[in-house]
Structure 1
Amino acid sequence: MAFRVICLALGKTKLAAFAFSSSTGQWRDAASKDLSDLGLAMRDSDMISWMNPFYLRRHYAYGCFYWDFLVVKRNLLVVLDIRRMEFSIAELPPGEWYREGVAIVEAGEGRLGMFGLCGEKEIASDLSYGTIVRNRGDSPNQWLMEKTISLDSGYHYFIKAVTEGCLLLMIAESLPGSPIEKPLLEYFTMDIETLQLQRVCAKRFKLRLPTSSIYAYFFQTGIYTNFPPSLLPARTV
């Protein structure tokens, strides 16, 4: 089965994409764009270069990859259309969006959707959902925020992944400024259409963990779906 691999490279002054084809067994230059054309500056590249690459979060919807630049406090998305192999930019809606709390989703009927955790001082207090409203003519598309859910205080909230029409949320107990005694990490799925929550699992650690370690566990967990039957555990009745 033929496949492609796409690699994103961020340089001092340019953003580039390289594509590998299993048919040819070779890499090729696929797309490139000056950072200035994308509304980015050299200082943004410098900041990202020494950060963990996981902080530059990638999203996918309708044949396009999206990278949010919230890690450098920029409310924008860099878009790569993998059909045309072209870069462009899109603005996120105004707000204090949490850097591990934005997800770009397929909202149906070709509409782009966004879930975002919003709050002050990196502590999320609300989960908002909005969609892109496509305007006629030359006027830019706009975000329409459709729903906002207030979150319980005393917790850190993270959007971990999007898969199969669901968000995967991670929730951790929060005690600002001090390690957390035997912290509990909980995982929930949220249906993109109904916004219904379902608890998946939870794990309580036996050690005291500082907030920085909670962030580490955020990056070390993943979600996997659509396993072939041969890899699924046998059901017991």
Structure 2
Amino acid sequence: MAQCKTKLVAFVFSSSTGEWRAVASQGWGDLLVGTGVSTASSKSPVFFGRQYACACFYWVMDWRQKLLMLDTRRMEFSIADLPPGCRRPPIAIVDAGEGRPGMFAVREHDADGTFDLYYTIRQNEGQSFNQWQMEKTIPLESGYRYFLRGATERYLLLLRSEDDSPSSSSLEMSDLECFSLDVKTLQLESVCRLKHHILRAHIYTNFPPSLSSQTI
């Protein structure tokens, strides 16, 4: 994806020709209409945190409760609302089944300092397409801080540290534990303990035979 001065463009690389070609393009004025974002500024909006699920790429719009979406089936850009209560990233986009994207976000309750995972599913029919339905709230063990660090269509990666650990921006954190969450069962499973904070993580699944463990 390339952010130009007047428009947003998506490119696809062809392995047969060895060349890039533009497959989707939309002007800022058309894309941002109705979002409350001014198109008069010389600076284009900032998008970050690319994620993929249900044949669509998603980016969070900086300082806005909005998502930029690229539908790879239609090769079209659109803007979607974030679900209510999702005040800030990071978020995790997953496949919720039946062609619907689901979103996880970590919420901190200011009153008591506790955290939970907030899971919502986006509707995919009629006028409710841009609406999110709350599916489940998963309480997280108290006494820790929690951070979303990666996701696939089926799993997400969650880190936690003791509540009195240094700031999340620090590379050195004690008792940092990594968890995976199965989107289908919503079960958390401890994966490992880490000595260093992971600023950005990626989950790899379905390795080819050459990278898989030998079995009989």
Specify the TM-score bucket, using the shorter chain as the normaliser. Answer: 0.7 to 0.9
Give the equivalent residue in structure 1 for 2:184: 193
Q: Judging changes above 3 Å, is the alpha-carbon distance between structure 1 residues 85 and 188 closer, same or farther for their aligned structure 2 residues?
A: same
> What is the CA-CA distance between 1:132 and the residue it aligns to?
2.0
1:135–1:142 contact (8 Å) kept in structure 2: no
Q: Match of 2:205, SS? A: coil
Q: Judging changes above 3 Å, is the alpha-carbon distance between structure 1 residues 180 and 223 closer, same or farther for their aligned structure 2 residues?
A: closer
1:63–1:83 contact (8 Å) kept in structure 2: yes
When normalised by structure 1's length, the TM-score is 0.73
Give the equivalent residue in structure 2 for 1:9: 2
Q: Does 1:167 align with 2:156?
A: yes
> What is the CA-CA distance between 1:131 and the residue it aligns to?
1.2
Q: Judging changes above 3 Å, is the alpha-carbon distance between structure 1 residues 180 and 11 closer, same or farther for their aligned structure 2 residues?
A: closer
> What is the CA-CA distance between 1:66 and the residue it aligns to?
1.0
Alpha-carbon distance in structure 2 between the residues aligned to 1:107 and 1:233: 29
Q: Match of 1:230, SS? A: helix
Unaligned runs of 5+ in 2: none
Q: Judging changes above 3 Å, is the alpha-carbon distance between structure 1 residues 129 and 28 closer, same or farther for their aligned structure 2 residues?
A: same
Larger helix proportion of the pair: 1
Q: Judging changes above 3 Å, is the alpha-carbon distance between structure 1 residues 98 and 185 closer, same or farther for their aligned structure 2 residues?
A: farther
* Identity between Structure 1 and Structure 2 (%): 47
When normalised by structure 2's length, the TM-score is 0.79
Give the equivalent residue in structure 2 for 1:218: 199
1:170–1:218 contact (8 Å) kept in structure 2: no
Size of the aligned set, in residue pairs, is 207
When structure 1 is superposed on structure 2, of 192-201 and 8-17 the one drifting more is 8-17
1:115 to 83, 104, 112: 104
Alpha-carbon distance in structure 2 between the residues aligned to 1:115 and 1:222: 16
Give the equivalent residue in structure 1 for 2:70: 80
When structure 1 is superposed on structure 2, of 149-158 and 178-187 the one drifting more is 178-187
Q: Match of 2:210, SS? A: helix
Give the equivalent residue in structure 1 for 2:207: 227
- Aligned partner letter, 1:108: G
Q: Judging changes above 3 Å, is the alpha-carbon distance between structure 1 residues 139 and 95 closer, same or farther for their aligned structure 2 residues?
A: closer
